Structure 1
Protein backbone atom coordinates (compact mmCIF):
# COMPACT_ATOMS: atom_id res chain seq x y z
CA UNK A 1 0.00 0.00 0.00
CA UNK A 2 1.43 3.40 -0.97
CA UNK A 3 1.51 6.28 1.51
CA UNK A 4 -1.38 7.99 -0.35
CA UNK A 5 -3.45 4.77 -0.23
CA UNK A 6 -2.75 4.38 3.49
CA UNK A 7 -3.77 7.98 4.20
CA UNK A 8 -7.00 7.48 2.25
CA UNK A 9 -7.72 4.21 4.05
CA UNK A 10 -7.08 5.61 7.55
CA UNK A 11 -9.12 8.75 6.79
CA UNK A 12 -12.04 6.66 5.49
CA UNK A 13 -11.85 4.34 8.52
CA UNK A 14 -11.87 7.37 10.81
CA UNK A 15 -14.91 8.78 9.03
CA UNK A 16 -16.69 5.46 9.40
CA UNK A 17 -15.77 5.26 13.10
CA UNK A 18 -16.67 8.85 13.89
CA UNK A 19 -19.55 9.59 11.51
CA UNK A 20 -21.17 6.48 10.11
CA UNK A 21 -24.89 7.04 9.96
CA UNK A 22 -24.30 10.66 8.97
CA UNK A 23 -25.01 11.97 5.49
CA UNK A 24 -22.22 12.28 2.94
CA UNK A 25 -22.17 16.01 3.78
CA UNK A 26 -21.73 15.17 7.47
CA UNK A 27 -18.83 12.86 6.74
CA UNK A 28 -17.25 15.49 4.49
CA UNK A 29 -17.46 17.99 7.36
CA UNK A 30 -15.67 15.56 9.70
CA UNK A 31 -13.05 14.93 6.99
CA UNK A 32 -12.47 18.66 6.63
CA UNK A 33 -11.91 18.96 10.37
CA UNK A 34 -9.16 16.39 9.98
CA UNK A 35 -7.78 18.11 6.88
CA UNK A 36 -7.70 21.44 8.74
CA UNK A 37 -5.48 19.81 11.36
CA UNK A 38 -3.26 18.26 8.69
CA UNK A 39 -2.88 21.61 6.90
CA UNK A 40 -2.34 23.77 9.98
CA UNK A 41 0.96 24.95 8.50
CA UNK A 42 3.03 24.26 11.58
CA UNK A 43 6.09 22.05 11.29
CA UNK A 44 5.91 19.11 13.69
CA UNK A 45 2.30 19.94 14.49
CA UNK A 46 0.84 18.94 17.84
CA UNK A 47 -1.99 17.32 15.86
CA UNK A 48 0.36 14.80 14.26
CA UNK A 49 1.83 14.64 10.78
CA UNK A 50 -0.29 13.73 7.75
CA UNK A 51 -3.70 12.09 7.79
CA UNK A 52 -2.48 8.93 9.50
CA UNK A 53 -0.72 10.86 12.27
CA UNK A 54 -3.69 13.18 12.84
CA UNK A 55 -6.35 10.45 12.76
CA UNK A 56 -4.43 8.11 15.04
CA UNK A 57 -3.13 10.72 17.48
CA UNK A 58 -4.00 9.24 20.89
CA UNK A 59 -7.27 10.47 22.37
CA UNK A 60 -8.15 12.80 19.49
CA UNK A 61 -10.57 10.57 17.58
CA UNK A 62 -12.13 8.18 20.06
CA UNK A 63 -12.83 5.51 17.44
CA UNK A 64 -9.07 4.73 17.47
CA UNK A 65 -8.91 4.24 21.25
CA UNK A 66 -8.21 0.55 21.87
CA UNK A 67 -11.14 0.35 24.33
CA UNK A 68 -13.61 1.82 21.82
CA UNK A 69 -16.02 -0.70 20.22
CA UNK A 70 -15.15 0.72 16.78
CA UNK A 71 -11.48 -0.20 17.16
CA UNK A 72 -11.98 -3.87 16.28
CA UNK A 73 -13.43 -2.75 12.94
CA UNK A 74 -10.85 -0.04 12.28
CA UNK A 75 -7.95 -2.34 13.08
CA UNK A 76 -9.25 -5.01 10.69
CA UNK A 77 -10.22 -7.61 13.30
CA UNK A 78 -13.84 -7.34 12.10
CA UNK A 79 -14.92 -6.26 8.60
CA UNK A 80 -16.53 -2.86 8.15
CA UNK A 81 -19.90 -3.17 6.34
CA UNK A 82 -19.22 -2.52 2.65
CA UNK A 83 -21.92 0.09 1.93
CA UNK A 84 -21.12 2.14 5.02
CA UNK A 85 -17.41 2.08 4.24
CA UNK A 86 -18.02 2.96 0.57
CA UNK A 87 -19.65 6.26 1.60
CA UNK A 88 -16.75 7.05 3.95
CA UNK A 89 -14.31 6.36 1.09
CA UNK A 90 -16.25 8.75 -1.19
CA UNK A 91 -16.08 11.48 1.47
CA UNK A 92 -12.36 10.84 1.99
CA UNK A 93 -11.66 10.94 -1.76
CA UNK A 94 -13.55 14.22 -2.25
CA UNK A 95 -11.78 15.98 0.61
CA UNK A 96 -8.32 14.59 -0.18
CA UNK A 97 -8.68 15.73 -3.80
CA UNK A 98 -9.98 19.16 -2.78
CA UNK A 99 -13.17 18.61 -4.80
CA UNK A 100 -15.46 20.06 -2.11
CA UNK A 101 -15.09 23.30 -0.16
CA UNK A 102 -14.74 23.31 3.62
CA UNK A 103 -18.28 23.50 5.03
CA UNK A 104 -16.91 23.91 8.57
CA UNK A 105 -15.31 27.32 8.09
CA UNK A 106 -11.91 26.11 9.28
CA UNK A 107 -13.02 23.94 12.20
CA UNK A 108 -10.42 21.79 13.94
CA UNK A 109 -12.78 20.29 16.51
CA UNK A 110 -16.26 18.82 16.74
CA UNK A 111 -18.33 16.85 19.15
CA UNK A 112 -21.37 14.65 18.82
CA UNK A 113 -24.66 16.04 20.07
CA UNK A 114 -25.28 12.64 21.64
CA UNK A 115 -22.72 13.44 24.35
CA UNK A 116 -24.34 14.04 27.75
CA UNK A 117 -22.69 17.47 28.00
CA UNK A 118 -20.36 19.55 25.83
CA UNK A 119 -16.63 18.96 26.31
CA UNK A 120 -14.75 21.55 28.34
CA UNK A 121 -12.74 22.69 25.31
CA UNK A 122 -15.96 23.94 23.63
CA UNK A 123 -16.27 26.80 26.14
CA UNK A 124 -14.72 29.83 24.52
CA UNK A 125 -14.40 28.21 21.09
CA UNK A 126 -16.16 29.60 18.03
CA UNK A 127 -18.96 27.36 16.72
CA UNK A 128 -18.84 27.26 12.93
CA UNK A 129 -21.42 24.65 11.93
CA UNK A 130 -24.05 22.26 13.24
CA UNK A 131 -24.69 19.41 10.81
CA UNK A 132 -26.42 16.17 11.59
CA UNK A 133 -25.30 15.00 15.03
CA UNK A 134 -22.08 17.04 15.11
CA UNK A 135 -21.22 20.59 16.16
CA UNK A 136 -18.00 22.05 14.72
CA UNK A 137 -15.61 24.62 16.24
CA UNK A 138 -12.49 26.62 15.56
CA UNK A 139 -10.33 28.87 17.70
CA UNK A 140 -10.40 26.35 20.51
CA UNK A 141 -8.53 27.76 23.52
Structure 2
Protein backbone atom coordinates (compact mmCIF):
# COMPACT_ATOMS: atom_id res chain seq x y z
CA UNK A 1 0.00 0.00 0.00
CA UNK A 2 1.29 3.42 -0.92
CA UNK A 3 0.59 6.14 1.62
CA UNK A 4 -0.74 9.39 0.20
CA UNK A 5 0.27 12.86 1.36
CA UNK A 6 -3.08 13.01 3.13
CA UNK A 7 -2.23 9.78 4.99
CA UNK A 8 1.12 11.23 6.06
CA UNK A 9 -0.45 14.51 7.18
CA UNK A 10 -3.28 12.83 9.11
CA UNK A 11 -0.84 10.44 10.81
CA UNK A 12 1.45 13.33 11.80
CA UNK A 13 -1.51 15.29 13.18
CA UNK A 14 -2.67 12.23 15.10
CA UNK A 15 0.80 11.87 16.61
CA UNK A 16 0.66 15.51 17.63
CA UNK A 17 -2.76 15.01 19.23
CA UNK A 18 -1.90 11.76 20.96
CA UNK A 19 1.84 11.93 21.72
CA UNK A 20 3.38 15.35 21.18
CA UNK A 21 4.84 15.33 24.70
CA UNK A 22 6.41 11.90 24.32
CA UNK A 23 9.39 12.72 22.12
CA UNK A 24 10.36 10.79 19.01
CA UNK A 25 10.38 7.34 20.64
CA UNK A 26 6.84 7.71 21.97
CA UNK A 27 5.58 9.15 18.70
CA UNK A 28 7.12 6.26 16.76
CA UNK A 29 5.44 3.78 19.13
CA UNK A 30 2.02 5.41 18.63
CA UNK A 31 2.59 5.52 14.86
CA UNK A 32 3.44 1.80 14.85
CA UNK A 33 0.22 1.05 16.73
CA UNK A 34 -1.65 2.80 13.93
CA UNK A 35 0.41 1.03 11.26
CA UNK A 36 -0.39 -2.31 12.89
CA UNK A 37 -4.08 -1.49 12.51
CA UNK A 38 -3.58 -0.42 8.88
CA UNK A 39 -1.84 -3.71 8.07
CA UNK A 40 -3.99 -6.05 10.14
CA UNK A 41 -4.14 -8.57 7.28
CA UNK A 42 -7.88 -8.33 6.73
CA UNK A 43 -9.27 -7.49 3.32
CA UNK A 44 -11.86 -5.11 4.79
CA UNK A 45 -10.60 -3.98 8.16
CA UNK A 46 -12.84 -2.92 11.04
CA UNK A 47 -10.21 -0.30 11.91
CA UNK A 48 -10.67 1.61 8.65
CA UNK A 49 -8.71 1.73 5.42
CA UNK A 50 -5.29 3.38 5.15
CA UNK A 51 -3.65 5.64 7.69
CA UNK A 52 -6.20 8.45 7.36
CA UNK A 53 -9.10 6.00 7.62
CA UNK A 54 -7.71 4.36 10.75
CA UNK A 55 -6.77 7.63 12.45
CA UNK A 56 -10.08 9.33 11.76
CA UNK A 57 -12.46 6.45 12.36
CA UNK A 58 -14.78 7.66 15.11
CA UNK A 59 -13.68 6.98 18.69
CA UNK A 60 -10.41 5.21 17.88
CA UNK A 61 -8.13 8.13 18.69
CA UNK A 62 -9.62 10.65 21.09
CA UNK A 63 -7.80 13.60 19.55
CA UNK A 64 -10.15 13.33 16.54
CA UNK A 65 -13.30 13.44 18.68
CA UNK A 66 -15.04 16.76 18.06
CA UNK A 67 -15.24 17.38 21.81
CA UNK A 68 -11.49 16.90 22.34
CA UNK A 69 -9.51 20.14 22.87
CA UNK A 70 -6.96 19.00 20.27
CA UNK A 71 -9.58 18.65 17.51
CA UNK A 72 -9.55 22.31 16.46
CA UNK A 73 -5.80 22.02 15.88
CA UNK A 74 -6.11 18.78 13.93
CA UNK A 75 -8.82 20.03 11.60
CA UNK A 76 -6.98 23.31 10.92
CA UNK A 77 -9.21 25.78 12.80
CA UNK A 78 -6.23 26.53 15.05
CA UNK A 79 -2.62 26.32 13.91
CA UNK A 80 -0.14 23.78 15.29
CA UNK A 81 3.34 25.20 15.82
CA UNK A 82 5.43 24.36 12.77
CA UNK A 83 8.28 22.78 14.73
CA UNK A 84 5.96 20.49 16.69
CA UNK A 85 4.14 19.26 13.60
CA UNK A 86 7.43 18.84 11.71
CA UNK A 87 8.73 16.53 14.46
CA UNK A 88 5.55 14.47 14.26
CA UNK A 89 5.86 14.34 10.48
CA UNK A 90 9.38 12.93 10.78
CA UNK A 91 8.13 10.14 13.07
CA UNK A 92 5.16 9.48 10.77
CA UNK A 93 7.36 9.27 7.66
CA UNK A 94 9.87 6.96 9.38
CA UNK A 95 7.12 4.52 10.32
CA UNK A 96 5.23 4.69 7.02
CA UNK A 97 8.47 4.21 5.07
CA UNK A 98 9.57 1.29 7.27
CA UNK A 99 12.76 3.02 8.42
CA UNK A 100 12.29 2.11 12.10
CA UNK A 101 11.38 -1.21 13.69
CA UNK A 102 8.21 -1.71 15.69
CA UNK A 103 9.06 -1.06 19.36
CA UNK A 104 5.54 -2.16 20.38
CA UNK A 105 5.90 -5.78 19.22
CA UNK A 106 2.68 -5.68 17.22
CA UNK A 107 0.53 -3.53 19.50
CA UNK A 108 -2.85 -2.39 18.18
CA UNK A 109 -3.92 -0.57 21.34
CA UNK A 110 -2.51 1.75 23.95
CA UNK A 111 -3.73 3.97 26.71
CA UNK A 112 -2.30 6.99 28.45
CA UNK A 113 -1.13 6.34 32.00
CA UNK A 114 -2.93 9.53 33.03
CA UNK A 115 -6.27 7.70 32.78
CA UNK A 116 -7.73 4.67 34.51
CA UNK A 117 -6.71 1.48 32.65
CA UNK A 118 -9.49 0.48 30.25
CA UNK A 119 -11.34 -2.79 30.88
CA UNK A 120 -9.91 -4.34 27.70
CA UNK A 121 -6.35 -4.04 29.03
CA UNK A 122 -6.92 -6.70 31.71
CA UNK A 123 -7.09 -9.57 29.19
CA UNK A 124 -4.68 -8.13 26.60
CA UNK A 125 -0.95 -8.75 26.26
CA UNK A 126 1.12 -5.75 27.37
CA UNK A 127 4.05 -5.24 25.00
CA UNK A 128 5.61 -1.94 26.05
CA UNK A 129 5.42 0.85 28.58
CA UNK A 130 7.03 3.99 27.23
CA UNK A 131 6.68 7.46 28.66
CA UNK A 132 3.03 8.11 29.38
CA UNK A 133 1.64 5.22 27.33
CA UNK A 134 1.17 1.47 27.79
CA UNK A 135 0.89 -0.65 24.61
CA UNK A 136 -1.00 -3.92 24.02
CA UNK A 137 -1.73 -6.60 21.43
CA UNK A 138 -4.17 -9.54 21.48
CA UNK A 139 -6.95 -7.31 22.75
CA UNK A 140 -10.18 -9.30 23.06
Q: Distance in 1 between matches of 2:81 and 2:55?
A: 20
In the TM superposition, what is the alpha-carbon distance from 1:93 to its structure 2 partner? Answer: 0.6
The equivalent residue for 2:101 is 101
The equivalent residue for 1:119 is 118
* Unpaired stretches in structure 2, ≥5 consecutive residues: none
**Secondary structure class of the residue paired with 1:98:** coil
The equivalent residue for 1:134 is 133
Cα offsets for 1:41-100 (capped at 9, x unmatched): 101100000001100010000000000000000000000011111110000010010000
Q: Distance in 1 between matches of 2:131 and 2:85?
A: 18
* Unpaired stretches in structure 1, ≥5 consecutive residues: none
Q: How does 1:74-85 map to 2 (within 5 A)?
A: 74-85=74-85
Query: Would you say how many aligned residue pairs link Structure 1 and Structure 2?
Result: 138
Q: Distance in 2 between matches of 1:85 and 1:114?
A: 23
- TM-score (normalised: structure 1): 0.96
Q: Segments of 4+ in structure 1 off by > 2 A?
A: none
Q: Distance in 2 between matches of 1:62 and 1:135?
A: 16
**Secondary structure class of the residue paired with 2:76:** coil
Q: Distance in 1 between matches of 2:134 and 2:84?
A: 22
In the TM superposition, what is the alpha-carbon distance from 1:30 to its structure 2 partner? Answer: 0.1
Q: Distance in 2 between matches of 1:84 and 1:13?
A: 10
